Homo-oligomer: A and B are copies of this chain.
Amino acid sequence: MKAPSDFQLQADLRRPGRRVTNQRWLILEVVRGTDSHPTAEWVYQKVRRRLPRISLGTVYRNLKLLAEEGLIQELESRGFGRYDGNTARHDHFTCQRCGRIFDLEVRVDPSLGRRIGARTGFTITHHRIEFYGLCASCVLAAGHAKGGETSKRARHRP
């Protein structure tokens, strides 16, 4: 799956009565430029380096708008929202210790939605698979931390 060209993105963003502002464009670039599934706050901090006067509200508004246009993806996560610049169909793994979210390269049966839809009577437009557990480095870290002590979360954020 190829990343869409800037030209294509421009076309998607530019529709009747909608402008392509610096802020919006830069926010899109930042989200597309990372695979860390960032929060609004993280995007805000990044964008701020180039547009120091931008406001957090603008970031929120545009993330929402970009997601509605289908140019980025909004992830379902507890507590705070996260965004994904990769709009290709893919699944995620969340490490429950460090909190990081990883893209899965492995594709899980793409006909799943269709099959379940046929069997249940629901009209299924899409689905989402989230895996949970420990990433490699956290397995190691958890192994070192002996003594029954509850391992504290690093709470990575992005």
Q: Which residues of A come within 8 Å of B, CB atoms?
A: 74, 76-78, 81, 93, 95-96, 102, 104-106, 108-109, 112-113, 116-117, 119-136, 139
Sample of 19 more A-B contacts, CB < 8 Å, known A96-B125, A127-B130: A76-B130, A77-B78, A78-B81, A93-B122, A102-B122, A104-B120, A106-B116, A109-B109, A116-B131, A117-B131, A117-B133, A122-B131, A122-B134, A124-B132, A124-B133, A125-B134, A127-B129, A128-B130, A129-B129
Bound complex: CA A48 to CA B96 (Å): 34
Q: Which of B81, B119, B120, B139 meets A123, CB within 8 Å?
A: B139
Q: Which of B93, B128, B136 meets A129, CB within 8 Å?
A: B128
